[in-house]
Structure 1
Amino acid sequence: MEQLNTIKELINQGDVVEAIQLLDEYLANAPANRDEAFYLRGNAYRKQGNWQQALNNYQYAIDLNPDSPAREAHRMVMDILNFFNKDMYNQ
């Protein structure tokens, strides 16, 4: 849990590249709190503007824990994408 708090802080500071690397390592070791790690990795990708990876990671978190805050984050990203891409539907 301590490691996830450190990673959360990196994301908050905008150091998302390092956060993603640490989360990749964290998830490779099959720890507990995998849903939170996927949620955090989704947040890091969202900050990078990598919407697809953000959505994928939020979905992994939701699959592991249906009550994850990733559910709301996933919905918010979809709302953002639908808002910004609405012109694509009107052509």
Structure 2
Amino acid sequence: MEQLNTIREYIIQGNVDKAISALNEYLNNDNSVDKDEAYYLLGNAYRKQGNWQQALNNYQSAIHLNPDGPAFEARKMVMDILEFYHKDMYNQ
């Protein structure tokens, strides 16, 4: 959990690339616990980069592991943002 707190700080400080790298390493470790939290943080990092698809994919992975976690609301928020910003794309 301490490792995830450090990664959370990377995201807050804007060091998103370092956070993504650390999270991918964390998720590739078979002994990792709190994988739902790691996927949620990875979604946050990609959202901060503006990589909406990767953010949604990682939120969905977190939801799959923990349907009651914060990723559910985060995914809903991203979908609301995308629907608001890209309405014209749907009407082409």
Counterparts of 1:67 and 1:47, CA distance in 2: 23
TM-score by length of 1: 0.97
1:68 Cα deviation after fit: 1.1
Give the 3-state SS of the residue equivalent to 1:42 in structure 2.
helix
1:87 matches 2:53 = no
Equivalent position of 1:26 in the other structure: 26
Equivalent position of 1:9 in the other structure: 9
Instruction: Please tell me the residue identity of whatever aligns with 2:75.
Output: H
1:88 Cα deviation after fit: 1.6
Instruction: Please tell me the residue identity of whatever aligns with 1:4.
Output: L
How many residues matched?
A: 91
Stretches of structure 2 lacking an aligned partner (at least 5 in a row): none
Counterparts of 2:69 and 2:47, CA distance in 1: 17
TM-score by length of 2: 0.96
Equivalent position of 1:54 in the other structure: 55
Instruction: Please tell me the residue identity of whatever aligns with 2:40.
Output: Y
Equivalent position of 2:36 in the other structure: 35
Counterparts of 2:48 and 2:91, CA distance in 1: 28
Counterparts of 1:87 and 1:60, CA distance in 2: 29
Counterparts of 1:3 and 1:75, CA distance in 2: 27
Q: In angstroms, what is the RMSD of aligned CA positions?
A: 0.7
Q: Percent identity?
A: 71
